[in-house]
Amino acid sequence: MRIAVIGLGQIGMGVCRLALQGGHEVHGYDVATPESATLPAGLVLADSPAAAARDSDCVLLAVFDGAQALEVLRAILADAAGSQVVAVLSTVTLETMREADRLVSGTGVRVLDCGVSAGTAFQEGAKLALAVGGEQAACERVRPVLESFGDPVVYMGGLGSGMAAKLARNLMHYCSGLADWESASLAARAGVDVNSFVEFIKAAELKGKGHMRYVRATADGGLEDDGLPPNSYARKDLRAALDLATELELDLPAATLAAGIFDGLAEG
């Protein structure tokens, strides 16, 4: 298929490389002209988003934010043939996707929201995980393109559902990152070797099914489901950790918030 990639940063350039390896014809555009040494063989550079998208079956937007995505979409629509599928790879708000849908209404162009995850995988030549939302027929039409750089490509449902899944995944990533930082800081402040702590945590997560057990349980109805520790255990353990943090003069805002939430669950 002929595809266009608008935005040739880490994600866009990785998409270009894998799509070319998959046998697709790839045209690209970026506001900053990339250095020729960084361009994969076969990539055709265009002088505008509309020129890159012209006659393409699928247009992939890998720009910074929603405002840029809508700006590019308007430029493409001014020159579109009316049968393209435009997939937004950028992490944007659902309102951005709704506005994109309004812009293409009546044109024959279809838009998909395509949440991409694990962008650093491109640095190792691996594919990304994709969560796709929008018209299923449009998703299936460009699935060969999506599968050239995505594995798995998971169809999530109607427009916005792919981006909602990506935003929820990012929420997990950043909140878990804060929890990881607090946990490691508490262990280190208490004199625990961090490398030994990591070894212990990896083994414990493997045996205890990891954080995903909490995701499955909360999706099914709450923190008490799926054999999870009852609130009394959570409250006891969190308070003991916070007592240690106080003794070590360490501020743990995420743990403090979690303790308050579990206290509220017990009271409610």
Mean pLDDT for each consecutive 10-residue tract of the chain (268 residues)?
96 95 97 86 95 96 96 91 90 95 95 88 85 98 98 97 93 90 95 95 80 65 54 86 95 94 79
pLDDT of residue 261: 87
The residue type found at 58 is: C
Nearest to 155 by CA among 173, 171, 142, 172: 142
pLDDT of residue 222: 59
Report how far residue 159's alpha carbon sits from residue 98's, in angstroms, rounded to the nearest whole number. 8
pLDDT of residue 214: 66
pLDDT of residue 124: 76
pLDDT of residue 205: 83
Instruction: Answer for the pair 34, 8: CB distance below 8 angstroms, yes or no.
Output: yes
pLDDT of residue 79: 84
Walk across the sheet containing 44-45 and list its strands.
44-45, 25-29, 2-6, 58-61, 85-88, 110-117, 128-133, 150-157
Nearest to 111 by CA among 92, 137, 85: 85
φ, ψ for residue 40, nearest 5 deg: -70, 150
Report how far residue 9's alpha carbon sits from residue 153's, in angstroms, rounded to the nearest whole number. 21
φ, ψ for residue 205, nearest 5 deg: -65, -40
pLDDT of residue 217: 64
pLDDT of residue 263: 85
pLDDT of residue 225: 46
Residues 6+ apart with CB under 8 A from 44: 25, 26, 27, 28
Other C-beta atoms closer than 10 Å to the C-beta of 62 total: 27
pLDDT of residue 5: 98
